Amino acid sequence: NILDNFRRKIIRENYYFLKDPHDRLIEAAVFGDTKRISPIIDYFKKTQTIHILSVSGVHMSFAFAIFYLLLFKFFSNIKLFYSRYNLKILASLGGIIFSLLYFNISGLEIPAVRSFIMMLLFVFSIIFGWQKNAYNILFFVACVFFIFYGFEVFSDISFVLSFVMTFFAIYFANVISRLRLKKFYAFLFFSIFMGIFSIPLSLHYFGYVSTTSFVSNIVLDPYFGFLIMPLSFLGIVFTFLPYYIKLPFFLLFDFVVKVYFQILVFLSDAAKIIHLHQPNSILVVMLYLFGIAIVEFLIYKFNVAFSLKADLSQ
């Protein structure tokens, strides 16, 4: 298999150039080879960032974002494209193609396929303006999965997590649109609230909370997605270049991963695991409804304050 050979060559290069345990992270988190993660898995468990070690919809969404931004920048500098075509659609189609190529290289696991489809819906809802129909499409896909897999889907943690978090990703994207937040504040808002809204499900499935999980997800997820993953993709290119060219790159790459591990180990050492009663499904739903009510109340207060400020300035 050409893709398997290609994947093995990339993994060998990372093993050769990256120090241990940096290579273990890249093998598992980027290329889906989890055979050597046992020495590092506890760090991720204690910070509740273990989702990083399994290629899933999170990885696919980061991959899509990287390729989308690169292609959008590329096409926006060529008159032939920006004068004739919708650059968002063009860049998104290219992003999907490259993401699917990466998906094949990473192993194409079934749970990741489900997660990818869920996250893809979120991306499409933003790019193509499907926000009004995004929920309907999301539930339609869930029904399709239910038809094929039956009640088994409800016991699949990866499916439930990806479905629920995609639902909230669409919801918070809509909230950001309503609040008209600037990019930095939008990113901060999205990261914080997605982290908060992941807690009830984590409690439901795992029965514990790490005291550093909130900070870990806000810091480590973007670091991985916007630094380590792009460098990993660049590493694929450098794999086939002469040694004297790729050596400086992999030294830089190793340093970036080293910093990631230093943050990870620090947060892991500082973490305290709090074991709590696992809430049942009904309580989880009630917590989410309560959370949405709070968010809507905050939006109302924000809009009132903004309107009052606008009136006073006139």
Mean pLDDT confidence for 39-64 = 82
Write out pLDDT tens, residues 268-285. 999 998 888 888 889 999
**Contacts with 267 (C-beta within 8 Å, 6 or more apart), sequence order:** 47, 212, 215, 216, 219, 220
Tokens of 298: 């905050």
What is the chain's mean pLDDT, rounded? Answer: 83
Q: Which domain holds residue 227?
A: 2-279
Report yes or no on 295 lying in a domain.
no
Report yes or no on 270 lying in a domain.
yes
The pLDDT > 90 percentage for the chain reads 24
Report yes or no on 211 lying in a domain.
yes
Write out pLDDT tens, residues 189-223. 887 788 788 888 888 888 888 889 888 988 888 89
Does pLDDT of 122 surpass 70? no
Write out pLDDT tens, residues 245-264. 999 999 999 999 999 999 99
Q: Give the per-residue pLDDT at 51.
A: 78
Query: Considering only CA atoms, which of 31, 99, 103 is closest in space to residue 65?
Result: 99
Query: Considering only CA atoms, which of 273, 271, 275 is closest in space to residue 212?
Result: 271
**pTM for the full predicted model:** 0.77
Report yes or no on 297 lying in a domain.
no
Report yes or no on 97 lying in a domain.
yes
Report yes or no on 299 lying in a domain.
no
Q: Give the per-residue pLDDT at 23.
A: 93
Is the CB of residue 30 less than 8 Å from the CB of residue 229? yes
Report yes or no on 304 lying in a domain.
no
Report yes or no on 289 lying in a domain.
no
Q: Give the per-residue pLDDT at 170.
A: 79
Q: How many domains does the chain have?
A: 1
